Structure 1
Amino acid sequence: MYNTILTELENGTLIITINRPDKMNALNRDVVGDLGKALDEVYSNPEIRSAIITGSGEKAFVAGADISEFTSIGPDGGEAIAKRGRELVFDKIENCPKPIIAAVNGFSLGGGCELAMACHFRIASSNAKFGQPEVNLGLIPGYGGTQRLTRLVGKGRAMEMLLTADMIGADDAKAAGLVNHVVAPAYLLAKAKEILQKIHTKSPLPVAAIIACVNECADGDHHGFDKEIKRFGQCFATEDMKEGTSAFLEKRKPVFKGK
């Protein structure tokens, strides 16, 4: 089904592995297309409750874009590459109503760092390295890197990383707010699965609503408070809200049905 990625559904979590280890899992047109298809499956398949995106091997999550695709295009072609990536993959990840975690193993540079940042949050192996080196190529990030990095680490840190192209290690990335957890490489996927299994015990309806609300805040939506109130009210129309409150009062674990 896919040429450049591997997928495995395990306990409701779709594990998506970018599989170009000989190219450090670099993003090219085929990878973007395959990721787009896999994300469509995440959206449409009710058996999928969440997803993990990672890279094959321990050296790289995604070491950047495949620069060989850039050499013969002009401004319109550059815009088209960025627009296609955002529509097929990056915005689709960020706006997915199901949680998507980046399990970052090794280098996460350029488009790879942007891919990780599009996920709802990130877990890094202790050998992970993050950076946006596009300025070294006479370019800027094109998949949302200038925007998402600034939101995650703040203007000053983002400006320095983008302008110097310096990489930062996993511990510095955690301190900056770029990643949530740093673990030994052998435990990377296990940690991501552990967190998602905890989220799977919640109702998928408020999970989706929380993702939407947090994204609106990150986007600077001035109507975020009003939209939160609206979604809060909508929860009261669900069977899961009635089950959750009843279970709490009856001192038992709720059994959510996603209705």
Structure 2
Amino acid sequence: MSTPYVTLDIQNEVGYIEFFHPAHNSLPGDVLAKLAQTITDAGTNDAIKVLVLKSGGDRTFCAGASFEELININDAATGKVFFSGFANVINAMRKCPKFIIGRIQGKTVGGGVGLAASTDYCMASKFAAIKLSELNIGIGPFVVGPAIERKIGLSAMSQIAIDANTFYPAEWAKQKGLFTQVYESTEMLDDAVKTTAEHLCTYNTEAMLEMKKVFWQGTDHWDALLAERAATSGKLVLSDFTKEN
């Protein structure tokens, strides 16, 4: 596979949203925009009761921001627009009226950790190590930080943000509350995701909607907050330090 894509496949009332990019599932602006729109549209699709967020391939869930686009950002306004792509996806997941199950089959970095943290129920394979590498290139996990902090707490989030060179194993992420379960293989993960999603489809959709509101209570200000964080990243990415690294 060499062409980036975002797809929606509906099976047994479960909407499987899959994204892919040949560069380890990194996310350029156009893929982020399509992903946000696909999530929003799926949230209003009456044929879908539960969503699953997944990525193509079997090695990397998401490598985060597209470095190819990052190095071509030459002004703060463009930088804010780029990082707003991640903000828009997180806010689309937050506002989606349906439960979103995360299927994390492999390593995930930076913005990918933010996507995993923004799902409502996240399941992973033992290969799904996580890393926040942003400090290495002179920025920080500003946009995805609120979503990650909400899931694992400020202490754990600050630990992986500061230790930007280290991949933390899936079991660590489970202990901190990011992953609900960790499976020995991708096949076992897929079976569990399918079973969980289809079982949720038997629940009262109104009850699930009200529960989702409870889960995300206190985040109504995130439209403004994540926009501010995107502007911060957009300025920092212009530094000589970032360009060199």
TM-score range, shorter chain: 0.7 to 0.9
Rg larger in 1 or in 2? 1
- 2:67 is aligned with 1:64: no
Secondary structure of the 1:154 match is helix
* Partner deviation per Cα, 1:59-88 (whole Å, 9 max, x = no partner): 11111111111123222222222224322x
- Are residues 42 and 77 of structure 1, via their aligned partners in 2, closer, same or farther at CA, if it must alter by over 3 Å? same
Shift of 1:91: 0.7
The worse-fitting range, judged by mean Cα deviation, of 98-107 and 194-203 is: 194-203
Rounded to whole Å, the distance in 2 between the matches of 1:220 and 1:18 is 27
> Scaled by the length of structure 2, what TM-score is found?
0.82
> Scaled by the length of structure 1, what TM-score is found?
0.78
Rounded to whole Å, the distance in 1 between the matches of 2:220 and 2:85 is 24
Shift of 1:206: 1.3
Rounded to whole Å, the distance in 2 between the matches of 1:163 and 1:210 is 33
* Structure-1 residue corresponding to 2:205: 204
Rounded to whole Å, the distance in 1 between the matches of 2:11 and 2:197 is 11
Mapped contact 1:82–1:142 kept (Cα < 8 A): no
Unaligned runs of 5+ in 1: 222-259
Mapped contact 2:29–2:85 kept (Cα < 8 A): no
Secondary structure of the 1:103 match is strand
Alpha-carbon RMSD across the aligned residues, in angstroms, is 1.9
Shift of 1:159: 0.9
Unaligned runs of 5+ in 2: 222-245
- 2:14 is aligned with 1:13: yes
- State the one-letter code of the partner of 1:214: F
* Partner deviation per Cα, 1:184-223 (whole Å, 9 max, x = no partner): 2112222112112222111111100110112105x499xx
Mapped contact 1:19–1:55 kept (Cα < 8 A): yes
Rounded to whole Å, the distance in 2 between the matches of 1:114 and 1:157 is 14
Secondary structure of the 1:90 match is helix
* Structure-2 residue corresponding to 1:51: 51
Q: Which has the higher contact order (CA 8 A, sep 6+)?
A: 2
- Are residues 128 and 3 of structure 1, via their aligned partners in 2, closer, same or farther at CA, if it must alter by over 3 Å? closer
Shift of 1:36: 2.2
